[in-house]
């Protein structure tokens, strides 16, 4: 390979074999894969933390129920093991926690590995360190794409702007992977893409709308971390938009049961009102028992009982709840002013939720508010206490060689297609599989007025065709911007699946360079596809569910 990640003294450009835009889980996994296969890599990230959902967005991993033994790539499993090792090496765990094979630092109910954003960051940096030390990987933080140079159907370069000082840098490459949270390379390069909901006429999906709704996008959420110190007052200043958010009732169909800032919400599978609970744990007292899901424990990232007595004065939990899902607009394909307005609106919603919890929320003991709730700015590494970047569930998606539809993963549709009972069907098989995943078809309330769409989903494969655009020759999807629909985005957007997508894209780019074959030919020529899939298996990829032992 003649490309190299080095400065071109004549033109002032940075050149690489593989340029990855976006340092989230897909971007990090793509960099690991391409670098281990010998490619020179440039990885850019618009914030100062790599890690995407796990770090800058402060979202503990949403994973399939078999994740401890199956359903992810080998490198993702290594990441999970390293997180646990990090706690065992550096933290004062109790003897019982240290001995737990599947240590869950936060014991949050949402995940088997609820942990701190900074620990995920430390592990990811350690995993990338060998490639960076050797010079094979160049990491550009605080760098966002602003322009692209395209010749016919090939990208020649991407221009990155430093968000701190405004300086621009041209990065050339043989292959480009869009692993950004919003699919930022797609409009910059002129690649065809889709946003929002496709029409039922286009996709044939049972839950697609009759007409396409490009602006109908799932809510995004600005997460934050907090702990609870009883007897203390950590009430924040009243947010400027608190009165608005205190009165706000989402306009959704089916209807939301009342005000957003309330413990009653729409139960996703049934779409009926359901009560949630909130009861912080207090050191020295038994954990409170609640009649319904206790939001305090839902995304808890530190359970103080896993650590030596006195090390933590309180548990630490992440707030990513129905109550801070922002529904009033999108932050992509809008004007800069509108984007800023929605970003600030989402921040105001999350701060208003915290203020409501501190001052007005009904307590099980009949009182109002928990003033001892403390915003943990240090946990997320920001001055305002909110995550560095909002949790974005749905981005731009490429018009791909192959698009995953609801019919491929939804049990009733597979039953109709195969003539077998819903309990006996599997997801549609993909001959070009580059990985596996599983999650429910989980769509949060949307900007178009939809309430939850929450449907069962079969364990599925990730088709290579969904990573390859229809026209662009050296661009690959590296995260949730692959060829899914508004509906199937709901099961392809989670942590281990995004990692698998990115790792497959990085491996494909490096493999194409070695073989001097384009991605489209790798996919569509059986011997080349078989060779690539064999390579993935050797690198720890699981391409189907046949070896799962339930």
| pLDDT tens digits for range 513-530 | 999 999 999 999 999 999
pLDDT of residue 547: 87
Q: Which helix (H) or strand (E) holds 461?
A: strand 460-463
Q: What is the mean pLDDT of residues 121-133?
A: 98
Global pTM value? 0.97
550 pLDDT band, cuts 50/70/90, is: low
pLDDT of residue 11: 47
Long-range contacts of 266-275 (CB under 8 A, 24+ apart): 266/322, 266/445, 266/451, 266/452, 268/442, 268/452, 268/454, 269/454, 271/451, 271/452
Q: What percent of the chain stands above pLDDT 70? A: 97
Give the Å distances, CA to CA, from 97 to 2, 34, 284, 307: 50, 36, 19, 8
pLDDT of residue 372: 98
pLDDT digits (tens, 9 = 90+) for 461-490: 999 999 999 999 999 999 999 999 999 999
pLDDT at 454 over 60: yes
Count of alpha carbons within 13 angstroms of residue 21, beta-carbon side: 33
pLDDT digits (tens, 9 = 90+) for 191-230: 999 999 999 999 999 999 999 999 999 999 999 999 999 9
pLDDT of residue 249: 98
* Local structure of residue 12 (DSSP, 8 states): T
7 pLDDT band, cuts 50/70/90, is: low
pLDDT of residue 4: 57
pLDDT digits (tens, 9 = 90+) for 426-445: 999 999 999 999 999 999 99
First to last CA, the chain: 44
Asked: is 6-197+393-538 a CATH 3.50.50.60 domain? The reply is: yes
pLDDT digits (tens, 9 = 90+) for 76-98: 999 999 999 999 999 999 999 99
Across-strand partners of 274? Answer: 265
Q: What is the mean pLDDT of residues 392-415?
A: 98
pLDDT digits (tens, 9 = 90+) for 159-182: 999 999 999 999 999 999 999 999
Query: Which residue spans of the chain are classified as CATH 3.50.50.60?
Result: 6-197+393-538
Q: Which helix (H) or strand (E) holds 300?
A: strand 300-302
pLDDT of residue 9: 41
CB 219 within 8 A of CB 444: yes
pLDDT at 549 over 80: no
Q: What is the mean pLDDT of residues 516-545?
A: 98
Give the Å distances, CA to CA, from 83 to 69, 296, 308: 16, 22, 19
Tell me the pairing of strands 143-151 and 137-140: unpaired
Q: What is the mean pLDDT of the chain?
A: 96
């Amino acid at each position: 390979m003649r490309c190299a990640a080095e400065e071109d003294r004549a033109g002032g450009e940075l050149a690489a074999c593989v340029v990855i835009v976006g340092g989230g889980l897909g971007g990090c996994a793509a960099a690991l894969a391409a670098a281990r296969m010998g490619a020179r890599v440039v990885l850019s990230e618009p914030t100062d933390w790599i890690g995407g959902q796990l770090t800058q967005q402060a979202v503990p991993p949403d994973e399939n129920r078999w994740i401890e033994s199956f359903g992810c790539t080998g490198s993702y499993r290594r990441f999970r093991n390293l997180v646990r090792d990090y706690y065992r090496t550096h933290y004062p765990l109790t003897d019982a926690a240290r001995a737990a094979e599947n240590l869950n630092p936060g014991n949050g109910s949402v995940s088997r590995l609820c942990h701190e954003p900074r620990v995920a960051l430390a592990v990811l940096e350690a995993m990338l360190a060998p490639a960076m030390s050797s010079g094979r990987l160049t990491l550009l933080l605080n760098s966002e794409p602003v322009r692209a140079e395209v010749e016919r159907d090939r990208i020649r370069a991407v221009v990155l702007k430093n968000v701190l000082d405004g300086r621009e840098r041209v990065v050339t490459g043989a292959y480009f992977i869009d692993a950004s949270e919003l699919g930022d390379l797609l409009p910059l390069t002129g690649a065809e893409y889709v946003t929002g909901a496709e029409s039922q006429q286009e996709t044939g999906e049972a839950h697609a709308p009759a007409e396409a709704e490009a602006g109908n996008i799932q809510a995004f959420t600005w997460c934050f971390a907090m702990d609870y110190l009883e007897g203390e007052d950590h009430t924040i200043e009243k947010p400027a938009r608190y009165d608005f958010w205190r009165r706000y009732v989402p306009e959704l169909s089916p209807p939301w049961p009342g005000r957003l800032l309330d413990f009653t919400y729409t139960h996703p599978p049934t779409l009926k009102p359901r009560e949630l609970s909130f009861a912080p744990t207090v050191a020295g007292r038994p954990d409170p028992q609640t009649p319904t899901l206790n939001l305090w424990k839902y995304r808890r990232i530190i359970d103080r009982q896993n650590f030596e007595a006195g090390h933590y004065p309180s548990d630490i939990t992440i707030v990513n709840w129905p109550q801070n899902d922002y529904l009033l607009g999108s932050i992509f394909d809008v004007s800069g002013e509108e984007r800023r307005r929605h970003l600030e609106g989402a921040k105001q919603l999350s701060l208003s939720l915290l203020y409501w919890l501190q001052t007005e929320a009904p307590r099980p003991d009949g009182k109002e508010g928990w003033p001892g709730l403390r915003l943990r700015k240090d946990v997320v590494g920001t001055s305002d206490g909110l995550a560095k970047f909002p949790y974005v569930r749905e981005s731009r998606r490429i018009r791909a060689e192959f698009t995953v539809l609801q019919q491929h993963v939804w049990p009733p549709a597979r039953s109709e297609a195969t003539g077998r009972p819903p309990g006996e069907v599997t997801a549609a098989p993909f001959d070009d599989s580059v990985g596996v995943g599983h999650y429910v078809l989980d769509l949060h309330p949307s900007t178009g007025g939809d309430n939850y769409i929450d449907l069962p989903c079969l364990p599925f494969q990730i088709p290579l065709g969904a990573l390859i655009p229809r026209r662009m020759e050296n661009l690959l999807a590296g995260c949730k911007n692959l060829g899914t629909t508004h509906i199937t985005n709901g099961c392809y957007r989670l942590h281990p699946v995004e990692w698998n997508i990115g790792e497959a894209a990085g491996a494909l780019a490096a493999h194409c360079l070695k073989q001097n074959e384009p991605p489209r030919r790798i996919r569509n020529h059986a011997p080349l596809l078989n060779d690539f899939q064999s390579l993935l298996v050797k690198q720890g990829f699981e391409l189907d569910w046949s070896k799962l032992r339930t």
